[in-house]
Amino acid sequence: MKSICFFSSYFNGAKIPDYIRVYLLELSKYFSRIIFITNDKEINEESLTFLTQNKIELFLVVNEGYDFGMWHKALAKYDVSGYDRLGLINDSCILFGKLDTFFKWLDKEKPDYSGLTDSYQIEYHIQSYFLIINKETIPFVIDYFRQNGIIAELSEVIRVYEVGLSQYLVKMGKNLKAMYHFTKETDSNNNAIVWAMPLIKEGFPMVKKKIISREYKYKYWRSLVARGHDPFPEHYIKLIAKKINNPEIGKMFTEVRSKKGFLGEVSFTTISLLAILSRIRRKQFYGINNYPR
């Protein structure tokens, strides 16, 4: 099968972070060609050597339009019409497991447009951190990107591309499917975050980078905790280490872990615990025991 993956990434510094390299190497097992798209800047020699040795192509772009903006530019540059499968994947997750289970599922189910998780937030869609498009659907995706161009405002990117592309393909009669499916009753808007703990227990091979880095906007973070999200990165790292039987896996997360300082940590912990207690009192705990699968 002839396949191509556009991997969009944004990071600071000249060195490609190790967690991104791990992701790229795993993807190289399933795609015959990988285009690594990142913001236009200097990439150090050692990182360029890594890309060359692993036959990963570098595409530097002006950072605009978020991941869909990067994919838009890649689709404009590269002819993907001759490929059997197209991957649109970004670096918002840290991959710690293997992707073989997903690709076996993909080969069996043969959906037109698929990913790891779905959501009914706004309208039904496949969450856009990991998208796979089959040959017959690629022209529809190309046309949609051409029609909508690059969008600067994040909320519009979500509405037009993450949600809108899924809805467009549904109207075109395409079969959309996520390996980890949620219903309207169990949907928690950002399922890859709110349901991260039970997903990992079930075999989900990655964790949202935001969970480890704690790069939440204050109101959004409190809302997540209120819906059942565990805000403490250490809990996820411990679970992952146990799940994959690798006590050293914590080192992989050091590049994205953040330190808030003494007062910042006290504030984060206090507010998190208060939100959890409030959630329990309201009997609105949608945690591991109530995972809908």
8 A C-beta contact, residue 169 and residue 162:
no
Are both 158 and 283 inside the same structural domain? no
Asked, for residue 123, whether it belongs to a domain, the answer is yes
DSSP state of 17: P
Are both 39 and 94 inside the same structural domain? yes
The per-residue pLDDT for range 110-167, each reduced to its tens digit, is 999 999 999 998 999 999 999 999 999 999 999 999 999 999 999 999 999 999 999 9
Domain encompassing residue 240 = 209-290
Higher pLDDT, 271 or 22: 22
Are both 227 and 271 inside the same structural domain? yes
Higher pLDDT, 12 or 86: 86
Q: What angle do CA 106, 109, 115 make, to 5 degrees?
A: 45
Asked, for residue 204, whether it belongs to a domain, the answer is no
Q: What is the largest CA-CA distance in the chain?
A: 56
The whole-angstrom separation of Cα 92 and Cα 4 is 19
* Confidence at 260, pLDDT banded by 50, 70, 90: low
Are both 140 and 62 inside the same structural domain? yes
Instruction: State which of 133, 163, 180 marks the end of a domain.
Output: 180
Asked, for residue 112, whether it belongs to a domain, the answer is yes
**Which pair of structure tokens corresponds to residue 15?**
């060195």
The per-residue pLDDT for range 214-257, each reduced to its tens digit, is 876 666 666 777 777 788 899 999 999 999 998 888 888 988 87
Asked, for residue 201, whether it belongs to a domain, the answer is no
Residue 167: exposure state from Cβ atoms within 10 A (0-12, 13-18, ≥19): middle
Are both 145 and 284 inside the same structural domain? no
Asked, for residue 192, whether it belongs to a domain, the answer is no
Report how many domains make up the chain: 2
pLDDT exceeds cutoff 60 at 287: no
8 A C-beta contact, residue 114 and residue 177:
yes
Residue with tokens 């050091």: 254
Residue 288 amino acid letter: I
Are both 167 and 215 inside the same structural domain? no
Are both 166 and 26 inside the same structural domain? yes
Are both 35 and 100 inside the same structural domain? yes
Asked, for residue 198, whether it belongs to a domain, the answer is no
Average pLDDT over residues 30-56: 97
Average pLDDT over residues 29-39: 98
Residue with tokens 């790292």: 237
Characterize 110-123 residue by residue with b for buried, 16 or more Cβ atoms within 10 angstroms of its Cβ, and e for exposed.
ebbbbbbbbbbbee
pLDDT exceeds cutoff 80 at 33: yes
